[in-house]
Chains A and B, each alone.
Chain A
Amino acid sequence: MPEQFLWAMEVMLNGLMAGVLYALVALGFVLIFKASGVFNYAQGVMALFAAMTLVGLQKGQVPFAHLINTIFGTDVHKFGWELAPWLAILLTAGVMVLFAWLVQRFILQHLVNQPDIILFMATIGLAYFMEGFADLMWGADIKTLDIGLPQGVNAWIDETTFNLFGYGFFIDNLDIAATIVAALLVVALVLFSQYTKQGRAMRAVADDHQAALSVGISLRFIWVMVWSVAGFVALVAGIMWGAKSGVQFSLSLIALKALPVLMLGGFTSIPGAIVGGLIIGVGEKLFEFLVGPYIGGATENWFAYVLALIFLVFRPQGLFGEKIIERV
């Protein structure tokens, strides 16, 4: 088999894995957008915040250490314990639920019935507030996130492909783990929204706020629930990205990568977020590999957006966007 083809295969596989991570972020957007019609700009920062909180809790960092030390003239930084990864994840999930409640109580509740653009602006404000708040709480330094996920090249794939084709594929264990986790998460979300009472209520709210109110569904509760779920998705995305490239400010920018994914897959579709993520992931890696060398590389920065733009022109609702039901 020609080497060029094998390389392309490898690039494509890596693209799929990267796509899964994009999809994870896009998923958080879709959940909130479906249930409350809010485009949550803060989704990326939520991932950053979740990852920072996870690292902070796990390493036993004292929250607001800088603030405390400045005011009281103390010098505390660590509690001196280390939490087990699962416990830290559980506590962080709890923090994200608390965060969801705070957002509902202090922002969304006051903006009921306001135009979408106002809500969008509010989430931009929220994003920058959270960013600063996260720095204040856990410090702005780059942190490494290690919860025991497998890292490095997958030896089995490397060997098998080497024996088959005479060329070993380089696939990162972490990417494989991310794919499995993402798949589980999606299955869980679909089961939840299709087959549980609260999931049904969530879809009902997405369809018609007024009617949902009239049958006794509490919008506040549903919103807290949806933001909690989105917070949890952000935590998972934060863990995967954080483990890959460290927990730092640039983590919040993955939200921008989720935008083309959403345009491609549709803002209201969970499967759309997944498929859109995969297409973008594979597309940008393959494009960089095949076309990049001819046009000077760095195509990954813009390829996704151009692809999304082309999609917008031909299919504005995205690949899987909810069909707008109109009876004639």
Chain B
Amino acid sequence: MTDVAKDIASNETLLEVNNIEVIYNHVILVLKGVSLSVPKGGITALLGGNGAGKSTTLKAISALLHSERGEVTKGTITYRGEDISGQSPASLVRRGIIQVMEGRHVFEHLTVEENLLTGAYTRRDGRGAIAADLEMVYGYFPRLKERRRSQAGYTSGGEQQMLAIGRALMSRPETILLDEPSMGLAPQLVEEIFTIVRNLNEKEGATFLLAEQNTNVALRYAHYGYILENGRVVMDGPADDLRENPDVKEFYLGMSEEGRKSFRDVRSYRRRKRWLA
């Protein structure tokens, strides 16, 4: 564990998820008791494959589950020690928790700048402060400044991801829930986005909880990681430890004991091992 990671682990816990269960449409059990805690000032990664429950966990926290007919049926979610389950997304944004949704979800017919301004919807601290933050966001994402007057629907995938993060920043959040930022982006862009996330974390002190399928990238930038499988946390630990873990290496980073896999190994690759079967 690096020194930075140790420092962060000893920070106060901002967000705590205790043993939550989520059911969609009253019948489909998606999360089967997920617990995690997010320390202030850290980048925490939620890892796992498709359908592991990463997005659902984030939406359970940000209260975006309701509009998808999902429900937290057990467990508690606390923020700074206060129970936040049952709050509306709007009141959570006012508290400082905002989610950047999977698949960007920019407002296509609004301009880039209008998109950013909608992020400041819940703020009451006046135009001056909002204008200052707009410049701050443009500072982190110069590309958005170039395209401020174009319709967001016509910008590239990378620009839309930047816009979605920038829009969230406009609410002056303390904690940002970032869902699958690498989706559909070229490797170079993925690095660019993660570098910005790290910058925001270090310079603005923003706390991140990010869900990511790209385990390799996520573990390089995060301080701590949780691995989800089938709606359960199957492993957690500091990011550096996870990267060195032989099971994580084999199943999520695509490396076998001997290093890189060759085609010869693929043929005889054994059935996927599960931690909890």
Contacts and interface: CB of A to CB of B under 8 A. Distances in A.
A187 interface: no
The CB with the most chain A CB atoms within 10 A, among B88, B105, B106, B122, is that of B105
B121 A213 contact: no
Contacts of A325: 108-109, 151, 153-154
Q: What is the interface of chain B mostly: helix, strand, loop, or mixed?
A: mixed
Contacts of A116: none
A215 interface: yes
A97 to B, nearest CB: 21
B109 A216 contact: no
B57 interface: no
B121 A208 contact: no
Interface in A191-226: 197, 200-201, 203-204, 206-218
B108 A208 contact: yes
| Chain B interface residue bracket vs A | 20 to 34
A295 interface: no
Interface stretch (B37-45, B93-101, B185-193, B253-261): B93-101
The CB with the most chain B CB atoms within 10 A, among A210, A213, A214, A216, is that of A214
A83 to B, nearest CB: 37
Contact of A214 (B64, B114, B151, B153): B64
Interface residues of A, number: 23
Nearest to B92: A216
A271 to B, nearest CB: 14
A204 B110 CA distance: 7
Q: For the complex of A and B, list the 9 residue pairs with the smallest distance between their C-beta atoms, beginning with the closest.
A: A216-B93, A325-B153, A211-B105, A216-B122, A207-B107, A216-B90, A204-B118, A204-B107, A213-B89
Interface of B: 62, 64, 67-69, 88-90, 92-94, 98-101, 105-110, 114, 117-119, 121-122, 151, 153-154, 156, 167-168, 171
15 contacts: A197-B117, A203-B114, A204-B110, A207-B108, A212-B107, A213-B90, A214-B100, A214-B105, A215-B98, A215-B171, A216-B93, A216-B98, A216-B122, A325-B151, A327-B156
